[in-house]
Amino acid sequence: MVISCANIWKRKENQRYIVNNQERSGWELLEQWAEHAEALAAPRLRELDRTAERNHWKVIRAFQKFKVSDFHFSGSTGYGYNDRGREVLDEVYAEVFGAEAALVRPHFASGTHTISCALFGALRPGDELLYITGRPYDTLHKVIGNEGDGNGSLKDWGITYSEVALLEDRGIDWAQVERSISSKTKVIGIQRSRGYAWRSSLSVAEIGEMVKRIRQLKPDCIIFVDNCYGEFTEELEPTQVGVDLMAGSLIKNPGGGLASTGGYICGRADLVEKASYRLTAPGIGGEVGAMLGTLRATYQGLFLAPHLVGQALRGAVFAAALLELLGFDSNPSWDAQRSDLIQAIRFGREDALIAFVQGIQRAAAVDAHVVPEPWDMPGYDYPVIMAAGTFIQGGSLELSADAPIREPYIAYMQGGLTYSHVKFGVLTALLEMQKRGIIVIKPNMT
């Protein structure tokens, strides 16, 4: 039998290798370390499977409740009046996220566009937006804008903004929040994900506590959560713990790697409706919008999303465990609770960071032959390097890694449609670092 021949041959090779470890290839040594990391993280990996399973059932039950059928996938053209697939998709999302209503559309061009519609829908001139989790995600700075910038930003429309930085221990600075709330405060913003910062994401339980506290301080304000990267990382979503309005991107978690574009907004029905008037036009809202051929992939993506988020999280835990075993700093640590997809790794050296990011690209199924280089991205004060060999352009539920080239040289890795791909990516990246003489991989003696 061919298989047993191969096994014998392998065993012989191993015997020779055991005699002299130095002869082992870097890849084999890495695989050894990987096994050790997997054994270490096994309980955590099992927990993530459990969460993925519960969320998967939750999504299936929502599909069943609204009797999703093949004809919902066909899609409309023109105005898209009475597109049943679109209406049911909204209902399924609202059910999954425990919200009164949802607006799920391919017409949202990105996460930023989606969040922008949610905020412009809820705020009016003279109101104030207060972020209590520090600086929001970079692309939102221009949405908030500057007074008189002529861009039609929030500030340009007379909507003021203030923010309260997170405390050192990543807690909310409640004393400062209390001082910042005024009669003008209409929307309080919370970012669930760490974004590209060396901080933890906020858990849904923590967000629930925040909601209670905000309600005491200002019962009538609207609590908004930027849920990007957070969906299905836990069994509950922010709208299930009292958040009024929430938004996210379909080329991240809930699109399940299949939705080719779009975003969603969910929450209180009146606020979702107001947001829909920003997406299309006042009075028209979500009643129009041809879905073209996007529905099947959007439904199927949602069906798969809990599993894929689980795979990406497993990959992140594996990466953290392995890199910690090898002596790197990772955040979150492999055994920490997670509420988003992002895995930060601190390299402390520019060449190590670049080798790692380039190694992630080398492990892609798409564009593996392309070598990413740091470049001066508009809007950043320092060069940025990005690895993204993805099926969906910029799709960050797929394995990707980004890093600003600045001290202390942190890579932000996220996504992975399969656990094995993340593992392949991390091992390839470490091998790349070894090839460049940055690290020496020694046999794992334990």
In the complex, the residues that contact ligand PLP under the rule CB under 6 A are 110-112, 137, 139, 191, 193, 195, 226, 228-229, 249
Which of residues 111 and 289 has its CB atom nearest to ligand PLP in the complex? 111
How many of the other CB atoms lie within 10 Å of CB of 50?
11
In the complex with ligand PLP, the residue whose CB is nearer, 313 or 441, is 313
State the residue for tokens 């979503």: 237
* Closer to ligand PLP by Cβ: residue 341 or 426: 341
Least Å from the CB of residue 341 to ligand PLP? 9
> In the bound complex, what is the minimum distance in angstroms from residue 292's beta carbon to ligand PLP?
20
Q: What stretches of 81-139 show up as alpha helix (H) in DSSP? A: 84-96, 111-122
Q: Are 360 and 401 in contact (CB under 8 A)?
A: yes
Distance CA 232, CA 230 (A): 6
Nearer to ligand PLP, 166 or 355 (CB): 166
Q: How far is the CB of 116 from ligand PLP (least distance, A)?
A: 9
What 8-state DSSP symbol labels residue 263?
A: E
Q: Rounded distance, CA 37 to CA 30, Å?
A: 10
Neighbours of 175 (CB within 10 A): 10
Residue nearest to ligand PLP (CB): 111
92: left (phi over 0), alpha (psi -120 to 50) or beta: alpha
DSSP letter at 62 equals H
> What amino acid is encoded at 7 in this protein?
N
Residue (226 or 432) nearer to ligand PLP, CB: 226
Amino acid at position 366, single letter: V
DSSP track, 319-333: HHHHHHHTT-EEES-
Task: Give the shortest CB-256-to-ligand PLP separation in angstroms.
Answer: 16
- Shortest Cβ 311–ligand PLP spacing (Å): 19
Q: How far is the CB of 249 from ligand PLP (least distance, A)?
A: 4
* Residue nearer to ligand PLP on the CB measure, 261 or 330: 261
